[in-house]
């Protein structure tokens, strides 16, 4: 089944939840107009649906065979990638100085969603390149920027991020890759890195690796890590491609999903040391990585939305076609389509509304990142930065968790056909599984939320979010439209739960940090449910005149069927931690 | 990582939750003794761990190649299967008249769990054979029983079930396979069947297909379906194998998981008609299928338990080895094992306790099936039958849903390594996915629970279950042991939710059936949570002297962290249906 970019829902989210029209009117986005936004979304949707989506299954089946150091990308991928880059999509958010379009993060977010929904494995390469562009833009010396950025922004070269080593996953303190000063201002890098996405491929002429490594005299731990540019092929001062650097792909992983994306083990310095150029200051590499962390986490959050959207579209299409039994009220001849069965409706609406809720949370986050960069006052920038910081781990964990759940429901809607690879439903489930893991596992997102984001401004950032949600719930109560059913009542209960859980955690952070850590994951989910439910209600409020409207029905479904989980999550946060921390867990194995 | 059969937890469940010792003492099980039970569990655990478990990964990698009508099973499988059958495991529950051990369903359930945990793909063949044995035992004429059962019970021949056709999945009314009377008492079968597990393989000399088909003069719908024995090779009156019957495997499915189990498309009657023998009466085939349905559903429920157990063991082992960061309170050198992090403990205990809860529900169900067969009075048989009927759809849906969730959590515990096929965590997740689908999707289980089981005896069967649960919660309150934390309070709240949801559905079944259908899935989950929480509490109560004991800690974790979801599920049941039934769901696609 073909992916259709959900341009309508994307635009509705930008307008009703994010307030894009007001932001444009208020001047936040300079001379950007809604017409330009609509045109960009339309064109991106077309490219994603028409050109990228057909690559998805090919990529899954063909994979990226590795032989003699060479990775061969799936058939048709290079042509589409080349056309995509030539159309300027790779540089959407990059600075105009280097050939970028300098469009806001919010617009880029919508496009990221569409590329990745069309094919997550295809979208992953550009996503890594974008991260590398940001790190180089923000931290590298002018001559490095001038040398590398134009071709990375145009998409002629791709970028990678080399963090993980076998014994250094989430805890980077254990990193062992070495960097030595060569005396001429360059460095020699030796070591191995694992899980390097698009570490090797044949889409482009060069690959620019960003590599974290330790200098011989570096302090122990994460304060002794430096960041280097290590190009696959050395680059002349005129931008010409020279000799091969001392870096190679040693193997690729056999993965559960995203088979079209090569995940490489990279070996640096087999022949004495790969030539590297320092990005930023020595021993400050992690800081350079952290500046791009929020954006990368948002990008992965959007991958969660994208796979949920893709799986949802496929499930709706299948359920409309497939006939089994006769649902209550079905009056046609013979068996009716399964989409009419209440239990199938429940599954489909769960998929649809989780997806829309996650989209709304991601777009809110993107718009706050824009406010942090473009704000017209320091106060506005700070407010944007704080809210983006709070929302980012929620966006990442919630969107990628529901990505898994929605893709799994998509298999369920297909029945036995879902377990057969032919239909593609199973591929979505396999592809979705990595999003909750990479770029910081969702457990780490939850811990980030509770231990670093919740205490921001003494808890006031979280409290302000709660106040904002209460206003939406009150507005739903005020309009008192029958189509909303119990939406307001359920939202208020969830927000109450969120507030009590927030108070509990703020206190626990001081008195009993292990209790706060134990409650982090259910707390993140609780926050996402309340936030997502509020966002769907805002979309419903915006279209109330057209009752009965799908956005109202969606808000109601979500509030009545999924938001009630909030109370159980609250109890897990406030009453589950002591037991967890008292357990001698090894005994339970 | 090697599977270790959890014989201790299995025995504890049988004793503390199911009351096996009392049942034996009371004479329900004839001359069965706990010593025999323990010995059988021990031996089965050894065979499962030592012989079958090593087949699991081989099966996944090798699959079952299909060429020229022949399916080749993975390397090593035939030898282990032959030894397994020779040891008498295939006939554990079968009648002694045909060479079976005539052991109770409860013991068989534990063994099924172990075979399938060792390798779900391996366990699937015997599971289908067992179903075929039951159908033939209960419904076939004496000469058919004498001809087929001894070799099926010994495992020399396997059996299959041929229900599904491309347009007849859950709704069997659409079935098209034809049966014509040959005039000599046999029938000629023509048609195609899909999703036939172990439809073709090279483990045994013969395969006995049970095939549902329609006679030319059969009434329309499900009341016109007959059941036939169609052997792959014709069998002489002396039991010798004769010529090939007119049945062949046309293709096998490329599936998400259980790659070691061949899923075949079978073609009957290419050359004029496969010879079939009627089982039971003409047009009464579905009734014959239904008699074995409860057992088959329980068997699939046990597959859910088994994959959850396997994934849990693997996650505990990984989390004990893998070192990242330093959890609160860790005082060792360098990085500590991730099993000590509160968020990882939460994941592991979620896996462990869901698995134990599902196991308890399945074993309760098995023991009621025993009571239905072995009860010493008609009243006892009836009570067993009623409770087994109520519990079966809960066991199937809850166990296989948590099978998916636990296997997915297992991937999460592994981090990036979980997404790489090498570790095996991903295989468990792929394998688990079918259990919630086949033998009646979990949506169909939920509908069965609400529309057929809830109304049994005017709702009194469900109410009796609730009363039983209340007694356990009261006992936990009474012993007032600190190790239980808030267990009693949380159980009472969940049981209250269950009772209100039950009353709502019993009323809705009369006034608004679509509302009852919409709430069926959350209701089933709510029932499973309350039932599972109660069962874990019973295990805890049984060991209270040994405080702090893992069973008490497990009951507490489950009650404090997972059972609180009950309140949200209640609200979905009682307040979610109207919105679902009002939605024009096509608009949301």
B324/A349 touch (CB, cutoff 8 Å), yes or no: no
pLDDT of residue B294: 67
**Strand B263-268 with B247-252, pairing:** antiparallel
Per-residue pLDDT tens over the stretch B203-241: 999 999 999 999 999 999 889 999 999 999 999 988 899
Per-residue pLDDT tens over the stretch A158-167: 999 999 998 7
Shortest CA distance from B447: residue in chain A = A343
Catalytic residue at A368?
no
Q: B260: distance to nearest CA of chain A, Å?
A: 14
CA nearest neighbour of B559 among A572, A564, A515, A501: A572
B560/A571 touch (CB, cutoff 8 Å), yes or no: yes
Per-residue three-class SS string for A17-34: HCCHHHHHHCCCCCCCCH
**Mutating which of B170, B451, B573, B589 best tests the A interface, going by the most A Cβ atoms within 10 A?**
B589
Rounded Cα distance between A19 and A28, Å, is 11
| Helix, strand, coil percentages in chain A from 3-state DSSP, rounded to 5 | 60, 10, 25
Q: What's the whole-number mean pLDDT along residues A162-183?
A: 88
Q: What's the whole-number mean pLDDT along residues B346-366?
A: 98
Rounded Cα distance between B22 and B10, Å, is 16
Under the banding of pLDDT at 50, 70 and 90, the label for residue A548 is low
Cα separations in angstroms, B116 against B111, B157, B304, B307, B435 = 8, 19, 9, 7, 12
**Strand A187-197 with A263-268, pairing:** antiparallel
Residues in B touching A572 (Cβ below 8 Å)? 560-562, 564
Shortest CA distance from B256: residue in chain A = A419
Q: What's the whole-number mean pLDDT along residues B551-555?
A: 96
Can you name the CATH fold of B54-87+119-283? Answer: Butyryl-CoA Dehydrogenase, subunit A; domain 2 (2.40.110)
B550/A586 touch (CB, cutoff 8 Å), yes or no: no
B195/A416 touch (CB, cutoff 8 Å), yes or no: yes
pLDDT of residue B86: 97
A256/B430 touch (CB, cutoff 8 Å), yes or no: yes
CA nearest neighbour of A419 among B439, B117, B161: B439
pLDDT of residue B328: 86
pLDDT at A173 > cutoff 90: no
pLDDT at A202 > cutoff 90: yes
B415/A446 touch (CB, cutoff 8 Å), yes or no: no
pLDDT of residue B548: 63
Residues in A touching B253 (Cβ below 8 Å)? 419-420, 422
DSSP A234: E
Rounded Cα distance between B82 and B203, Å, is 8
- Residue in A113, A165, A439, A570 annotated catalytic: A439
Q: B145: distance to nearest CA of chain A, Å?
A: 32
Residues in A touching B420 (Cβ below 8 Å)? 253-256
pLDDT at B396 > cutoff 90: yes
pLDDT at A169 > cutoff 80: no
Q: B316: distance to nearest CA of chain A, Å?
A: 6
- Residue in B165, B200, B309, B439 annotated catalytic: B439
pLDDT at A562 > cutoff 60: yes
Place of tokens 């199937």: B396
Q: A19: distance to nearest CA of chain B, Å?
A: 23
pLDDT of residue A587: 81
Task: Out of B253, B421, B585, name the one closest to residue A254 (CB).
Answer: B421
Q: Are B118 and B84 in contact (CB under 8 A)?
A: no
Give the class (CATH, top level) of B288-582: mainly alpha
Q: B471: distance to nearest CA of chain A, Å?
A: 23
Under the banding of pLDDT at 50, 70 and 90, the label for residue A426 is very high
Percent of chain A with pLDDT over 70: 99
B437/A520 touch (CB, cutoff 8 Å), yes or no: no
Q: What's the whole-number mean pLDDT along residues B297-307?
A: 98
SS3 A145: helix
Q: What is the ipTM of this complex?
A: 0.97
| Helix, strand, coil percentages in chain B from 3-state DSSP, rounded to 5 | 60, 10, 25
A256/B429 touch (CB, cutoff 8 Å), yes or no: yes
Per-residue pLDDT tens over the stretch A282-297: 999 988 887 667 689 9
pLDDT at A252 > cutoff 60: yes
pLDDT of residue A35: 96
B579/A561 touch (CB, cutoff 8 Å), yes or no: yes
pLDDT at B546 > cutoff 90: no
Rounded Cα distance between B174 and B489, Å, is 49
Residues in A touching B442 (Cβ below 8 Å)? 412
**Mutating which of B265, B310, B588 best tests the A interface, going by the most A Cβ atoms within 10 A?**
B588
Torsion of CA B410, B411, B414, B417, to 10 degrees: 150
* Sign of the alpha-carbon torsion through A414, A417, A422, A428: positive
DSSP A420: B
Task: Out of B255, B521, B554, name the one closest to residue A419 (CB).
Answer: B255
Per-domain residue ranges of chain A: 54-87+119-283, 453-589
């Amino acid at each position: 089944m073909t992916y259709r970019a959900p341009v309508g829902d994307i635009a509705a989210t930008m307008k009703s939840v994010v307030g894009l029209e007001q932001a444009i009117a208020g001047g936040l986005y300079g001379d950007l107009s809604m017409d330009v936004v609509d045109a960009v979304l339309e064109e991106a949707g077309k490219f994603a649906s028409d050109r990228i989506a057909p690559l998805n299954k090919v990529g899954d089946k063909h994979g990226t065979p590795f032989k003699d150091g060479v990775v061969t990308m799936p058939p048709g991928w290079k042509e589409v990638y080349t056309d995509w880059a030539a159309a300027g999509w790779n540089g959407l958010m990059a600075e105009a100085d280097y050939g970028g379009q300098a469009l806001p993060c919010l617009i880029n977010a919508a496009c990221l969603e569409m590329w990745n929904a069309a094919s997550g494995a295809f979208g992953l390469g550009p996503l890594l390149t974008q991260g590398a562009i940001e790190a180089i833009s923000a931290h590298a010396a002018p001559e490095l920027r001038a040398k590398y950025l134009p071709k990375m922004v145009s998409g002629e070269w791709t970028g990678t991020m080399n963090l993980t080593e076998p014994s250094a996953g989430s805890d980077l303190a254990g990193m062992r890759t070495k960097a030595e000063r060569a005396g001429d201002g360059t460095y020699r890098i030796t070591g191995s890195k694992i899980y390097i996405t698009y570490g090797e491929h044949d889409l482009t002429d060069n690959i620019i690796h960003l590599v974290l490594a330790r200098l011989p005299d570096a302090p122990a731990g994460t304060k002794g890590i430096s960041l280097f540019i290590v190009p696959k092929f050395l680059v002349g001062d005129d931008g010409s491609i020279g000799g091969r650097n001392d870096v190679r792909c040693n193997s690729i992983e056999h993965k559960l999903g995203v088979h079209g994306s090569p995940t490489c083990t990279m070996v640096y310095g087999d022949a004495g040391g790969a030539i590297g150029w320092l990005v930023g200051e020595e021993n400050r590499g992690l800081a350079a990585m952290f500046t791009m962390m929020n954006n990368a986490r948002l990008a992965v959050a959007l991958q969660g939305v994208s796979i949920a959207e893709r799986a949802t579209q496929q499930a709706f299409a299948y359920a409309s076609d497939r006939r089994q039994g006769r649902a209550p009220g079905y009056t046609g001849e013979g068996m009716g389509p399964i989409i009419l069965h209440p239990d199938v409706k429940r599954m489909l609406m769960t998929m649809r509304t989780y997806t829309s809720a996650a989209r709304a949370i991601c777009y809110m986050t993107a718009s706050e990142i824009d406010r942090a960069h473009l704000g017209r006052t320091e106060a506005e920038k700070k407010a944007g930065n704080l809210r983006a910081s709070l929302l980012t781990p929620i966006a990442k964990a919630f969107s990628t968790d529901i990505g898994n759940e929605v893709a799994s429901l998509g298999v369920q809607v297909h029945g036995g056909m879902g377990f057969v690879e032919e239909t593609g439903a199973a591929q979505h489930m396999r592809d979705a599984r990595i999003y909750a893991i990479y770029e910081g596992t969702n457990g780490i997102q939850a811990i980030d939320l509770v231990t670093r984001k919740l205490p921001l401004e003494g808890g006031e950032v979280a409290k302000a979010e709660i106040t904002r949600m209460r206003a939406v719930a009150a507005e739903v109560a005020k309009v008192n439209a029958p189509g909303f059913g119990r939406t307001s009542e359920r939202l208020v209960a969830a927000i109450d739960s969120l507030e009590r859980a927030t108070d509990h955690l703020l206190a626990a952070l001081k008195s009993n940090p292990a209790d706060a850590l134990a409650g982090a994951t259910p707390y993140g989910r609780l926050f996402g449910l309340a936030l997502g439910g509020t966002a769907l209600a805002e979309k419903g409020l915006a279209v109330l005149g057209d009752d009965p409207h799908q956005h109202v029905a969606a808000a109601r479904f979500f509030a009545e069927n999924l938001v009630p989980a909030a109370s159980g999550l609250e109890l897990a946060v406030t009453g589950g931690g002591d037991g967890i921390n008292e357990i001698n867990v090894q005994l339970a194995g």
